[in-house]
Amino acid sequence: MNITVWNEHVHEQEGGEAARIYPDGLHATIASALSDLGSMRTATLGEPSHGLPPEVLSVTDVLLWWGHAAHDQVSDEVVTRVVERVWQGMGLVVLHSGHYSKPFKRLMGTSCDLQWRHDEVETVWTVAPGHPIAAGVPASFVIPEQEMYGEFFDVPPPDELVFISSFGGGEVFRSGCCWTRGRGRIFYFSPGHEEHPVYHQPEIQRVLLNGTRWAAPSATL
How far apart CA 91 and CA 82 sit, in angstroms, is 10
CB of 204 to a second copy, least distance (A): 18
48 contacts: CB under 8 Å, gap ≥ 6: none
187 contacts: CB under 8 Å, gap ≥ 6: 91, 92, 93, 94, 133, 176, 177, 178, 211, 214, 215
Single out the residue of 63, 91, 96 nearest to residue 182, CA to CA. 91
Q: How many CB atoms are closer than 10 A to CB 217?
A: 16
Positions touching a second copy (CB under 8 A) are 83, 87, 89, 106-111, 121, 123, 125-132, 134-136, 139-140, 150-154, 156-157, 159-161, 164-166, 168, 170-172, 174, 179-185, 210, 217-219, 221
Nearest to a second copy of 23, 156 (CB atom): 156
Nearest to a second copy of 13, 111 (CB atom): 111
CB of 29 to a second copy, least distance (A): 24
Nearest to a second copy of 46, 202 (CB atom): 202
Helix (H, G, I), strand (E, B) or coil at 213: helix
CB of 84 to a second copy, least distance (A): 8
Nearest to a second copy of 125, 197 (CB atom): 125
Does the CA dihedral 192-197-202-208 come out positive or negative?
A: positive
CB of 191 to a second copy, least distance (A): 14
Nearest to a second copy of 25, 67 (CB atom): 67
CB of 147 to a second copy, least distance (A): 17
